Structure 1
Amino acid sequence: MANNSSSSTYYVSVEKLQIGLYVFIDLPWFQHPFTLNSFRISNEEQLRTLKSLGESRFRYDPKRSDADPDDPVETPSTEEPKTTESDTPDEDLSPELAARRKRIRALEAHRRRIEEVDKTYLKATGILRNLNRKLMTRGEETLQEMDVLVDHMVTAFLKHPEVTLHVMGEKFSGVESYSHSLNVSVLSMMLSKGLGLSEEQAHSLGVGALLHDIGLAEIPERVLKKRPDEYTKPERDLRAMHCEFGVRLGKKLGLPPGILAIIFQHHEMADGSGYPTGALVDKIAFPARIVSLVNFYDNLCNPTDLAQALTPHEALSFMFGQRRTKFDAAILQQMIRCLGVYPPGSIVSLSNDVVGLVLSVNPTKPLRPWIMAYDAKVPKEEAILLNLEQETELVIAKALRPALLPPAIHAYLSPRQRITYYFDSSVQATQGAK
């Protein structure tokens, strides 16, 4: 084996991969199916998956490997210079054309970022589904992987100046419950910084939100598949017991009290109208108040019966206008700051009669979000993105019901196929809810 100098990097060709090697995957997290970007290969399935990624070689760590490839390649650990595309406009261009090209580049970058977060979300949903399947049989290992998943979610969705999360609103067979848990976890962590939670508290909140519905595993499938308005009273009472069932399962897994409180109280309401105990706000753990609000919001946007779905604009307006007493006031205010007056996913008509989908919020100017505009002359894949903070001559005239859109506009904007949650962590930190 080559010497283990800390100043060297070791590679192994894809053909020489073997069980026991500790490898690194130098690809974006959403471009491979593994929970971690580095791990020790432990079985043939991992080998096959690594070989299917299309890489010719992989970095590996000799010190953490239990095997020794016969063709290691050692290269100096020097940093390669980064190459970036020049942002300097062509001096021969007119100011108008230079400005147009700069705008095109910005829109393309925004679209690429949207695509990347979309892929990351879908991967996280798949990982969460697999983790839930083995939660009760390999509890300790699964909880450790959930911790890693939350860390990845923080990196992918929360720590950048601009974070856009596209959440697929359509119900895909077998993944809807995992999408809901992921939505609630991400949105809860989005609110946490402005509410004064530490990184450790936000991490615990994220894990608790991922597990808040764990007790549904104890409810018969025939009950879970029914629409809420079709429940008999015994079925409604049984489903409501998923909070107690969740705590029982959580104790078996050795979950800490803070996460158990989220599981037990995520349906409690500030005015005492929730369940299982009808606790008032001062008796509800603060993280559970966050999850209760976010859980309520996501259930309005993505209910079991999509015909009953509210737009994000309608959902937030309903919560603030008609259900305000059910939530901690500071948390509700923070959500409004985070999601804006026209929450992402809203369909709006602009002052020039253009119809568009709100993609993301400008937190400092909630009336001037990013809009994906409908234009029959522009292919859907190349839809025009408008930043109303820059398009100062345009304003939002009103919000529209997706069901009332002409079929062509509905298909183009696909309002029920994606909801976007946007968060600007740098702005949030300066706003501070408390």
Structure 2
Amino acid sequence: MSLTEDLDLILETALPTDLSFRQIERAVIDNCISETRRYASEGSIEAFLMSAMRLLALPQNGHTRLIPNDAISVLPLRFVSVGRSVQVIGAPPGITAPRGKLIAVNGATLSQIEAIAEKFLAGTCQRKRVIGPILLAWPYALTRLGFSSNSGTTEYRVQGENGQITNLKVENGNTVPGSMLYPRNEHGKADPAWEPQTFVEFKDWQDLGLSIALPSFFDPSESALPKAISDAADHVRACSDKTLLIDVRGNTGGDFLLTMPLIDAISQSASKQIVVLVDKFTFSAAIVFVAILKHRLGNRLKLIGEEMGDGLTFFAEGGLLDLPMSGAVVRYSSAFHDWKNGTSDETTPADIAQQIVPAGELNLDRKWVARPAVEDAHGAFYQRILKGMNG
């Protein structure tokens, strides 16, 4: 048994099924396959993984990618994209690390590293910012990209909130499992093991309005989300005279069809202005949720935050492949979605095609990247937004 079995799974299932590969010249695909097969034959797991990442990133369809997190070891630092920067926001217990903005790695600036790493990362610029930081903690990736040191350590330059610069050196052999610090579905929270405690969080801010946080549309039980959405719809109808704030930051998706009762309630009942908070960690079904609301509400809906993690025309559905030899996971697509123009094709599931609308461009009405530890504390961020809407 060898890594070639993992590659065969990719070639037999992901590439033939995923229509986004039809946009790529066959010679380009074959060149990447050849490189990946060579590393597989050599038994070099990390080299194989990065080559497979490059292969699956070719269509720049963010729903299709190799996820190495479960198969690799990383240096004990958690990096997360905040706005346009990368922040050091965490480390395992017992590891002392400065918090702040990452300035350089082994003397190379972040912009230098990101320019070289781009071809290994799938999707839009925003999705690359979501999934890319793991490369900064993966010693092999830094070597492959050409940014390793010769000392057996990796040196990070970090700028704290007070402007002070700290140089942090980590031994390359001091690693932890990648999934310990980098979850498969990156949500941007300081705690990589974070999971939503509830599917809907209400808060009545009295005269300011009502906030509804929707952290996820993924419900393994298939019963908790519909109940929460139904309760939220009832709440919206009962508070139809209030300004409404909806927060889908960090919502990586799930099943948007289960959210339609809430969309209907907002569209039919909310009489005042509505604002939706989004960020680069807003993906898939959460983007569709926003698109349908924008189509129905038009200028009554305002988008605040930063660009979401994907565009409105993409390939989705599909499935997951567990690669038994390397331990990595492949996500691949099978269906076309076009929420920009409101079109579908024969690959689009019928129940989704019935809901597709031409949402046009989801342009931000106001850019605002909140600092979770500060502005989200005690709802301060929500209150500032609502006050601005009512002012």
Question: Is the TM-score greater than 0.5?
Answer: no
Give the structure, 1 or 2, with the largest relative contact order (CA under 8 Å, sep 6 or more). Answer: 2
Computing the radius of gyration from Cα coordinates, the structure with the larger value is 1
Q: TM-score, normalization: structure 1?
A: 0.26
Structure in which a larger fraction of residues adopt strand: 2
Q: TM-score, normalization: structure 2?
A: 0.28
